[in-house]
Amino acid sequence: MRLRTLTINLSNETSINGNQQILKNIHDDLIDDILYIQDIFSLKINRITYILINTIFYYYIMPLLCSSLISQNPKIVTSVVLYIFLAFFYYVKEESFLNTLFMVLFEDCISDKLQNFINIEPDFPKEFMFDWNKQKNVVNKNFFDFIKQNFSEPFIQSIIYMNNSPYQEIQNIVDYFEKYNEENSTSFSSVLTKANFMESLKEQILIKLSALEIGEMESFHKSLSRATGMNVGFIIEDERQNCFLNILNDFMKKQEVGLF
């Protein structure tokens, strides 16, 4: 998340009374990012707004900014933290984001679950290809990286059309599909046959991964699902209830103030 990196750089330069031109460049980039966030909010697409607010608080506001305000060894100097909060209030117009930020900053107390978002540093955010139409053209280091970034239901379906994939594992799955289709051509239109095929296709992917790789993929997708508030990839349990906004909303309901 570039906003996080820029904030750390701005704090470091401020602490050492760094070069003014460098400070200005970092500052301008940081404000550009906040304005870009506002541009996304201005689209007024509820699903995107929900994901963006969750992600900003999960990766940035809680573990970096709020943590720095209460920590004896802050990652960010207080003056930079306060300035960024002011910049959010000044440049961002999305009410749901501003209400959330106001509640986090000015509530008398927070729950233990909310405190965990401050205390626990999340894994560094990684890329996940939400646009599955682009997934077929992505070249990654190896098959596992490719699957880990893309393991969604539409992606699984799209694998059977990847005839020119650079991965032999993908070609093996394509060959498997062709054989399966031949053997079930008379009944493949049935819902049950299609459902069975999808489960079989998932198995064909998973058996090509080691237990360690599957565990790493599950952990990555679990973290990403909590960060976005949307179930992403290959997870065992519904993680939406554990996202920041859901936990904050539960807390505010107990305080008789609902967010949404």
First and final CA of the chain: distance in angstroms? 26
Q: Sign of dihedral through CA atoms 72, 15, 4, 107?
A: positive
pLDDT of residue 257: 54
Q: Is the pLDDT of residue 211 over 90?
A: yes
pLDDT tens, residue by residue, 33-51:
999 999 999 999 999 999 9
pLDDT of residue 186: 60
Q: Are the CB atoms for 30 and 7 separated by under 8 Å?
A: yes
Q: Is the pLDDT of residue 227 over 90?
A: yes
Report the distance separating Cα 136 and Cα 249, nearest Å.
Answer: 38
DSSP state of 121: P
Q: Is the pLDDT of residue 192 over 90?
A: no
Query: Which one has a higher pLDDT value, 21 or 29?
Result: 29
Query: Which one has a higher pLDDT value, 137 or 65?
Result: 65
Tally Cβ neighbours within 10 Å of residue 125. Answer: 16
Q: How many residues does the chain have?
A: 260
Report the distance separating Cα 158 and Cα 135, nearest Å.
Answer: 9
Report the distance separating Cα 99 and Cα 87, nearest Å.
Answer: 15
What is the C-alpha R_g of the chain?
22
Of these ranges, 71-75, 185-189, 198-202, the one predicted with the greatest mean pLDDT is: 71-75
Please state the rounded mean pLDDT for residues 45-61: 96
